[in-house]
């Protein structure tokens, strides 16, 4: 979601939450956990650009100039607001995609995690998917998108960027994700960026639980997007299997490391 829509006057609570986060979150130096310090130092605060960033951002520019209209089928939390479902690709690119700095953070997180399998809920036009594909060329990547016409544009982008390790499934997360998890031996990296409803978010988290292990990283997007999402995030943090969480405001990271005292970190990004 674009920064503007987060900070529009309708969303004062979000702005207050953002300020609170900025005031209370730490940098890498405020964290005493060696695991989280390393993650912050080597991944979160690694701002060096790569060739992959440039290649994908060139593709984003094309989307930002794409005048085509498509029919959007919205299965997510905004579905009740969607009166006019004909949209230009460039409008979707402007409003629905992760901004470059966050997409690049996801790139580094997934690269660090070295997943064999990576699942993304919420492909949209395929920008974060492309980042995952380039960060983890050896991984089997599955991304799910509910809107067929959006998925078709995403597939064009994935083809243009040569993301051959991505399987794009079109349909509702609620049906596809549980089936996918059943056939995946264990979950290495899962990114949840769609259908930001409390119950749905908790359901996706619970779907993951039978297949999580020491090496799993779950990433939840938009954890401050609404009161419901904040409640979902608190509920996820308090689950007994969760040991470490890292709240980066825009996204929340969840780990299941054994032998680690349960602890929740907030870091500035």
Ligand X SMILES: C[S@@+](CC[C@H](N)C(=O)[O-])C[C@H]1O[C@@H](n2cnc3c(N)ncnc32)[C@H](O)[C@@H]1O
Based on the shown chain and the rule CB under 6 A, indicate whether residue 144 belongs to the binding site for ligand X: yes
Taking the CB of residue 238, how many other CB atoms lie within 10 A of it? 11
CA distance 78 to 71: 15
Based on CB atoms, which residue is closest to ligand X, 33 or 73? 73
SS3 state at 1: coil
Based on the shown chain and the rule CB under 6 A, indicate whether residue 76 belongs to the binding site for ligand X: yes
Based on the shown chain and the rule CB under 6 A, indicate whether residue 119 belongs to the binding site for ligand X: no
Among 133, 155, 195, 207, binds ligand X (CB under 6 A): 195
Among 110, 132, 146, 181, binds ligand X (CB under 6 A): 146
Based on the shown chain and the rule CB under 6 A, indicate whether residue 157 belongs to the binding site for ligand X: no
Based on CB atoms, which residue is closest to ligand X, 156 or 263? 156
Based on the shown chain and the rule CB under 6 A, indicate whether residue 96 belongs to the binding site for ligand X: yes
What are the C-alpha distances in Å from 267 to residues 21, 26, 31, 247, 250?
Answer: 8, 5, 9, 6, 11
Closest CB 84 distance from ligand X, rounded Å: 15
Contact predicate 31/267, CB 8 Å = yes
CA distance 100 to 89: 18
Q: How many residues are present in the chain?
A: 269
Residue 181: both structure tokens together: 């998890």
CA distance 224 to 201: 13
Based on CB atoms, which residue is closest to ligand X, 76 or 115? 76
Among 113, 142, 150, 207, binds ligand X (CB under 6 A): 150
Based on the shown chain and the rule CB under 6 A, indicate whether residue 115 belongs to the binding site for ligand X: no
Contact predicate 104/131, CB 8 Å = yes
Based on CB atoms, which residue is closest to ligand X, 36 or 144? 144
Among 56, 93, 147, 232, binds ligand X (CB under 6 A): 147
**Contacting ligand X within 162-181 (CB under 6 A):** 172-174
Residue 177: both structure tokens together: 């994700």
Based on CB atoms, which residue is closest to ligand X, 98 or 266? 98
Residue 214: both structure tokens together: 């020491």
Based on the shown chain and the rule CB under 6 A, indicate whether residue 202 belongs to the binding site for ligand X: no
Closest CB 35 distance from ligand X, rounded Å: 26
CA distance 55 to 31: 34
Based on CB atoms, which residue is closest to ligand X, 109 or 144? 144
**Binding residues for ligand X, total number by CB under 6 A:** 21
Contact predicate 140/126, CB 8 Å = no
Which residues bind to ligand X, rule: CB under 6 A? 74-76, 96-98, 122, 124, 127-128, 144-147, 150, 172-174, 193-195
């Amino acid at each position: 979601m674009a920064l503007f829509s987060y900070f529009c006057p309708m969303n004062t609570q979000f702005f207050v939450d953002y300020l609170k986060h900025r005031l209370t979150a730490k940098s890498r130096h405020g964290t005493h956990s060696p695991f989280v310090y390393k993650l912050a130092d080597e991944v979160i605060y690694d701002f060096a650009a790569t060739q992959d960033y440039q290649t994908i951002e060139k593709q984003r520019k094309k989307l930002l100039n794409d005048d085509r209209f498509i029919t959007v089928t919205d299965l997510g939390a905004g579905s009740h607001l969607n009166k006019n479902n004909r949209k230009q690709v460039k409008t979707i690119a402007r409003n629905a995609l992760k901004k470059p700095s966050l997409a690049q953070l996801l790139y580094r997180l997934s690269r660090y995690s070295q997943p064999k399998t990576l699942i993304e809920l919420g492909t949209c036009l395929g920008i974060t998917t492309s980042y995952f594909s380039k960060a983890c060329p050896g991984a089997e990547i599955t991304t799910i998108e509910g809107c067929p016409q959006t998925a078709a544009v995403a597939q064009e982008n994935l083809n243009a960027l040569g993301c051959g390790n991505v399987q794009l499934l079109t349909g509702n997360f609620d049906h596809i994700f549980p089936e996918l998890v059943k056939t995946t031996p264990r979950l290495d990296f899962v990114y949840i960026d769609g259908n930001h409803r409390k119950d749905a978010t908790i359901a996706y988290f619970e779907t993951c639980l039978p297949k999580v292990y020491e090496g799993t990283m779950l990433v939840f997007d938009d954890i401050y997007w609404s009161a419901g999402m904040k409640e979902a995030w608190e509920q996820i943090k308090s689950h007994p299997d969760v040991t470490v969480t890292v709240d980066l405001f825009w996204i929340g990271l969840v780990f299941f490391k054994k032998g680690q005292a349960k602890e929740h970190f907030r870091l500035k990004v």
